[in-house]
Chains A and B, each alone.
Chain A
């Protein structure tokens, strides 16, 4: 099946810094990528839908200025958590859509 990678797999940062997470579709081109956030023992919550070459569409309640999404190519989308705070600590998962959604392994963000 299609492979989606995320980098880094884990990141620890200080409060107030920004963190960038990359999501790549390795063997297919994805016009649409999705970013999810998963809290412990909870469901995946869709944060935004990202289409190549256009602005991301954010779900209600997601701060677009805090979670910057860029989908500059058909194989790469990035999520930047700006001015991160401890409440932003979470597991972030991306997916890329070909004929179905293929998920990356996730990135564990810990903000100290």
Chain B
């Protein structure tokens, strides 16, 4: 079945460092891909998404490109801030069911 694999955390960075969180997927068809963020005490929020190969999703300085050839959707940010500290989830959705399949989440801690 479909699955999402993302790098284990926690990832600890200093402020203004470059961030990469790896995400790869397995799917039978052509899924849509998502990154969600969960700040402490809050619900998951959609950070960005891409619906087809080579699409780039971007939001709040974060980017991810849908790479069909490597089945990847890595999250990047050029300069992280303390306020980016959160748990990041990669997810996919296939077909018209709107069901989301999540990766295990990666905790990011940004130190001043």
| A49 to B100 Cα, complex, angstroms | 11
A100 touches which of B4, B46, B89, B105 (Cβ 8 Å): B46
| A95 to B38 Cα, complex, angstroms | 13
A44-B89 CB under 8 A given contacts A100-B46, A101-B98? yes
| List of B residues within 8 angstroms of A42 by Cβ | 104-105
Pairwise interchain contact B100-A105, C-beta atoms closer than 8 A: no
A104 touches which of B36, B43, B97 (Cβ 8 Å): B43
Q: Determine whether B7 belongs to the interface, using a CB cutoff of 8 Å to chain A.
A: no
Q: Could you tell me which residues of chain A, from 89 to 112, have a CB within 8 Å of some CB in chain B? A: 93, 95, 97, 100-106
CB of A59, distance to nearest CB on chain B (Å): 8
| A34 to B4 Cα, complex, angstroms | 19
Pairwise interchain contact A43-B45, C-beta atoms closer than 8 A: no
Pairwise interchain contact A103-B105, C-beta atoms closer than 8 A: no
Secondary structure dominating the interface of B: loop
Pairwise interchain contact B44-A93, C-beta atoms closer than 8 A: yes
A44 touches which of B41, B46, B98, B102 (Cβ 8 Å): B102
**What's the interface size class on B, roughly?**
10 to 19
Which of A34, A45, A49, A103 has the most chain B CB within a 10 Å cutoff? A103
Pairwise interchain contact A105-B89, C-beta atoms closer than 8 A: no
| A93 to B38 Cα, complex, angstroms | 12
B98 touches which of A45, A97, A103, A106 (Cβ 8 Å): A97
Chain B residues within CB distance 8 Å of chain A: 4, 36, 41-46, 89, 97-105
Given contacts A44-B102, A95-B100, 14 further A-B contacts (CB under 8 A): A32-B98, A34-B100, A43-B4, A43-B89, A43-B103, A43-B105, A44-B89, A44-B100, A46-B99, A46-B101, A101-B46, A103-B36, A105-B42, A106-B43
Chain A residues within CB distance 8 Å of chain B: 1, 4, 32, 34, 41-46, 49, 93, 95, 97, 100-106
